[in-house]
Homo-oligomer: A and B are copies of this chain.
């Protein structure tokens, strides 16, 4: 059985986007190196440091389904119909978008519990990755996360969209596995139940 993993690029002060949803400061590590990491789409090929590339290849090959929030779906225009990770996407939303044609890979689900259940089923032995801050918060509160993978970027943004907020309780994590990239430190924490 795969794990449910929340994964985001985050600034040292905890932001996953600037106040205007910009990610320029946070995604640079995906393009600042020489090692190509292909994705499922033509418009996104990563070029990373060797360490990040090895880490990313392993991560990509172990993902079986993705969960995103409606806001992320909207601001990326549904990744044009195909997410770079190339797996089934479960979008948590109260209202399904009208006329969305890519229903083969996109499923719209009301509530995180249901999204996680469906994504796990779709992922089989592989992992489910939660790729939106608010959804990750809700999954953490609901005890649905097995791991938190932070791509920690060496910048203090000062303001923006926080990954972790609106949390009622404290969650203990285990020691992370650490991979040192360039412009990023990959920290993979298990959630302690």
Contact B150 A189 (CB under 8 A): no
- Residue on B nearest A165 in the bound complex, by CB: B13
Give the distance to chain B from A187, nearest Cβ to Cβ, in Å.
7
- Residue on B nearest A25 in the bound complex, by CB: B170
Q: Does A41 contact B (CB under 8 A)?
A: no
Contact B180 A185 (CB under 8 A): no
Contact A173 B187 (CB under 8 A): no
Residues of chain B lying within 8 A (CB to CB) of residue A187: 152, 185
Residues of chain B lying within 8 A (CB to CB) of residue A185: 175-176, 178, 187
Interface flags, A154-193, vs B, CB<8A=1, else 0: 1111110011110111111111101010110101010000
Contact A155 B178 (CB under 8 A): no
Q: How many residues of chain A get a CB closer than 8 Å to chain B's CBs?
A: 35
Contact A164 B14 (CB under 8 A): yes
Interface flags, A124-151, vs B, CB<8A=1, else 0: 0000000000000000100000001010
Q: Does A12 contact B (CB under 8 A)?
A: yes
Residues of chain B lying within 8 A (CB to CB) of residue A150: 12
The contact of A158 among B164, B174, B175, by CB within 8 Å, is: B164
Q: A14-B14, A175-B183 are in contact. Are A170 and B157 (CB under 8 A)?
A: yes
Contact A167 B163 (CB under 8 A): no
Contact A170 B158 (CB under 8 A): yes
- Residue on B nearest A177 in the bound complex, by CB: B180
A176 to B153, CA, bound (A): 10
A residues apposed to B, CB below 8 Å = 12-14, 25, 140, 148, 150, 152, 154-159, 162-165, 167-176, 178, 180, 182-183, 185, 187, 189
Given contacts A13-B163, A154-B175, A156-B173, 8 further A-B contacts (CB under 8 A): A12-B148, A25-B170, A154-B173, A156-B170, A158-B164, A158-B168, A158-B171, A178-B178
